[in-house]
Amino acid sequence: MFQHLFNPSVQHTLDLIGIFVFAISGSLLAVRKNFDVFGIAVLAEITALGGGLLRDIIIGAVPPAAFTDLGYFTTPLVAALLVFFLHPEVERIQVGVNVFDAAGLGLFCVTGTVKAYDYGLGLTASAALGLATAVGGGVLRDVLANEVPSLLRWDRDLYAVPAMVGATMVVLCIRYDALTPLTSGLAVVTAFVLRLFAMRYHWRAPRAWHRRSTVREEESS
């Protein structure tokens, strides 16, 4: 019932923007890894749609939205082409890309949580799937590029926490019957702003206490 929290066409436009910026991040990594044009397109598709794909398979919403909405499928290809031809320019505006990526993170953690709840999952599970929707594409991107997922690394600015906060706000709103376009918009903005602050002030999460000094430091750099 919450499926269309916002006006459907507004929601769809926001989704496409989120997909586009995630696809840009996948394409940029593909260029850095020296992939060819098809490798760039594949990584763009998987980064942009992977999180939602995982969520839809887990909640049983098959075929997943990624395969039923042509706009979802073609948007990453546009991003891949753009990076293919203009990647030095795109890299130069990396800060701008990061801001949009933060917006995608905020949006997807909220819509992912709502969709999971609509399919009958509990509150905690819905929040976990909202988080998976937001960060899953980036993890698949890094696995395919044969890198340690930047989500897991201690030397990266907080990424999961803003999405967790957004997803938690949504399930609290659902719990107390207060989920409206306004409150869910607030959750999107909170996750978005938290991620911006995390990038600006390089917020990081702690590693395990008493980490042995014998660990190979170079692996984390």
Residues at the contact surface with a copy of itself, assessed by CB under 8 A? 30-40, 42-43, 53, 57-60, 62-64, 67-68, 70, 73-74, 83-85, 87-88, 119-122, 124-125, 128-129, 139, 143-149, 151-154, 160-161, 204-212, 215, 217, 219-220
DSSP string covering 157-184, please? ---HHHHHHHHHHHHHHHHTT---HHHH
Nearer to a copy of itself, 175 or 211 (CB): 211
Q: How far is the CB of 27 from a copy of itself (least distance, A)?
A: 8
- How many CA within 13 A on the CB side of residue 113? 28
Q: How far is the CB of 165 from a copy of itself (least distance, A)?
A: 12
Q: Which amino acid is at 98?
A: N
Nearer to a copy of itself, 95 or 208 (CB): 208
Nearer to a copy of itself, 106 or 130 (CB): 130
Output the CA torsion sign for 209, 199, 192, 152. negative
Nearer to a copy of itself, 177 or 217 (CB): 217
Q: How far is the CB of 154 from a copy of itself (least distance, A)?
A: 4
The closest of 26, 39, 33, 31 to 76, measured between CA atoms, is 26
Distance CA 76, CA 68 (A): 15
